[in-house]
Amino acid sequence: MAGVVAVVRAGPPDSAGERMAYFADWNTANRGYTVKDVDTSGAAAHLDRLIWAFGDVSEDGLCHVPPGADQPWQIFQRRYTAEQSVDGRADRYEQPLAGSLNQLRKLREKHPHLRTSISLGGWNWSRYFSEAVRTEESRERFVASCIDLWLRGNLPKLAGEPQGGEGVAAGIFDGIDLDWEWPGGRGHPDNVEHPDDRRNFTLAVIEFREQLDALERETGREYTLSASLSNDPQTMRDSYEPEVFAYLDFATVQGYDLTGAWRGTTGHHAQLYAPEQEPDQPSVDRAVRAYLDHGLPADKLVLGIPGYGRGWSGVDPGPDGDGWLSPAEAGADGDYGQSTDAYETLEQLPGERFFDRETGAQWVYDGDEWWSYDTPEVVRLKGGYVVEHGLRGMVLWNLDMDPEGELVAAMAEALG
């Protein structure tokens, strides 16, 4: 066909592994972490891909920007001052695209190597995924709406504001990440569910692949399709058919939240290996091996690492005095949700620090509170694991928890 440009799909990068991180758009408003911080921290220079969290799926089963919420203002209407802007230039009132998306465009212009994906769903916005993918017709409409909104950049026009319109955000994203948590009825308690979710997820991925391939032929650009996967082997079996991996460019496996304050005993929520004392504990290695056995190729598996830790209070010191695998009275107070806090904050806590190379885990204990979290040393250890096993790379959740870019720099160092 005249005018069609052939597209050659790229494989993994030439370095030992691909370096990725999530940008949580709500923390621009909640915590003051902006796209410019991704640049000034040095993270943008180290990363191969930024994954933007999240795009919402509507009750009608379509990609949309929720009207009436804070998201429209933050992502495409907010005007940035020169001091706040990636390129040092202030936004004008009447420009068709402002907000964080415009800052992301500027970031990509400054760092042309950086690729970007929009992640759909997440823990709180996966509610209607099942409805969106339930029939052939609904899948076609859903995928087309996501490509129209996020890749073609056709943003809604809202009353009283000049921003939005056809193509105003075109080219900002070159990938779509599917973060349905989780198909098969093991996800968020508010999710709509159907017994055929597992199969329909595969069919939806195939539909995304077909429509993205068609877009590639139209534009000559390459578009990446990925998915975020649970670390639990039973959820893996319930949620994902091995067939689905053939249509994904890569898949991120959440190497965190293995335990938490819901358990009355301290433990590592992102340990690389289970300890000898409790060999049946979940671990990153166990999750990785489960996916490899389930058919996910090693060169498509991206290991997720946390920019946060999980903690307990009222912790018994135990026989070794370090509080590890010890009874606790309750979860510790955290600033990122229940018994959860950011790497930046945990690095400032008083107490004695311990690093266990055998499990690949770090913790801090002050005689009462006990926190497990990843440090640059842990990240480098996990990076060595990724290289040793020929995995695709690593992805950090998420950037605002590492505002100085220390974990991202350790990832880059480990992966080459």
CATH number of 159's domain: 3.20.20.80
Q: How far apart are CA 406 and CA 36, in angstroms?
A: 16
Q: Which domain holds residue 386?
A: 18-307+374-415
pLDDT at 330: 97
pLDDT of 178 strictly over 50? yes
Percent of the chain with pLDDT over 90: 92
| Each residue's pLDDT tens digit, 186-209 | 889 999 999 999 999 999 999 999
Instruction: Give me the pLDDT at residue 14, please.
Output: 54
- The pLDDT assigned to 159 comes to 77
Q: What is the pLDDT of residue 337?
A: 86
What is the mean predicted confidence (pLDDT) over 147-159? 94
Q: How far apart are CA 109 and CA 87, in angstroms?
A: 9
What's the pLDDT band for 335 if we cut at 50, 70, 90? very high
Give dist(CA 154, CA 150) in Å, integer: 7
Buried b / exposed e along 268-289 (16+ C-beta atoms within 10 A): bbbbbbbbeeeeebbbbbbbbe
Confidence class for position 15, pLDDT limits 50, 70, 90: low
Q: Tell me whether residue 171 is in a domain.
A: yes
Residue 403 is predicted with a pLDDT of 97
- Say how far residue 399 (Cα) sits from the centre of its chain: 10
Whether residue 34 has pLDDT greater than 90: yes
Q: How confident is the model at residue 334 (pLDDT cuts 50, 70, 90)?
A: very high
Between 9-23, 58-72, 178-192, 373-387, the lowest mean confidence (pLDDT) is in 9-23
**Partners of 396 in beta bridges:** 21, 305
Distance CA(20)–CA(16), nearest Å, equals 13
Residue 7 has pLDDT above 70, yes or no: no
Q: How far apart are CA 135 and CA 128, in angstroms?
A: 13
Structural domains of the chain, count = 1
pLDDT (0 to 100) of residue 390:
98
pLDDT at 6 > cutoff 50: no
Residue 44, in any domain of the structure: yes
pLDDT category at 145 given cuts 50, 70, 90 is very high
CB 74 within 8 A of CB 28: yes
| Encoded amino acid at 16, one letter | A
Buried b (16+ CB within 10 A) or exposed e, 43-63: bbbbbbbbbbbbbbbbeebbb
pLDDT, position 5: 35
Would 58 be classed as within a structural domain?
Answer: yes
Confidence of residue 212 (pLDDT cuts 50, 70, 90): very high
For 324-333, what is the mean pLDDT? 97
Q: Which residue has the higher pLDDT, 184 or 86?
A: 86
Band the pLDDT of 69: cuts 50, 70, 90: low
Tell me the average pLDDT across 286-304: 98
Residue 186's Cβ-side half-sphere holds a number of Cα atoms within 13 Å equal to 14
Q: Is residue 160 very low, low, confident or very high in pLDDT (cuts 50, 70, 90)?
A: confident
In this structure, are residues 293 and 230 in contact, taking their beta carbons and an 8 Å threshold?
no
Give a yes or no: residue 99 inside a domain: yes
| Token output for 183 | 């198909």
Point out the least confidently predicted range of 58-72, 231-245, 342-356: 58-72
How do beta strands 308-313 and 340-342 pair?
Answer: antiparallel
Strand runs labelled E in 247-398: 250-253, 301-306, 308-313, 330-331, 340-342, 352-356, 361-365, 370-373, 393-397
Query: For residue 16, what pLDDT is reported?
Result: 74
* Cα–Cα distance measured from residue 36 to residue 290, given in angstroms and rounded to the nearest whole number: 38
Handedness of CA 35, 41, 46, 51 (dihedral sign): negative
Asked, for residue 238, whether it belongs to a domain, the answer is yes
What pLDDT is stored for residue 297 in this prediction?
98
Work out the mean pLDDT of the chain and round it to a whole number: 94
* Whether the model pTM is above 0.85: yes
Q: Please check the confidence at residue 286 and state whether its pLDDT lies above 60.
A: yes
| Per-position b or e across 359-374, b if 16+ CB within 10 A of its CB | bbbbbbbeeebbbbbb
pLDDT at 326 over 60: yes
- Is residue 86 in a domain? yes
pLDDT (tens digit per residue) in 364-397: 999 999 999 999 999 999 999 999 999 999 999 9
The continuous run of DSSP H or E covering 102 comes out as: helix 99-110
User: Token pair for residue 235?
Assistant: 């959820």
Domain assignment present for 5: no
The answer to the question of residue 348 being in a domain is: no
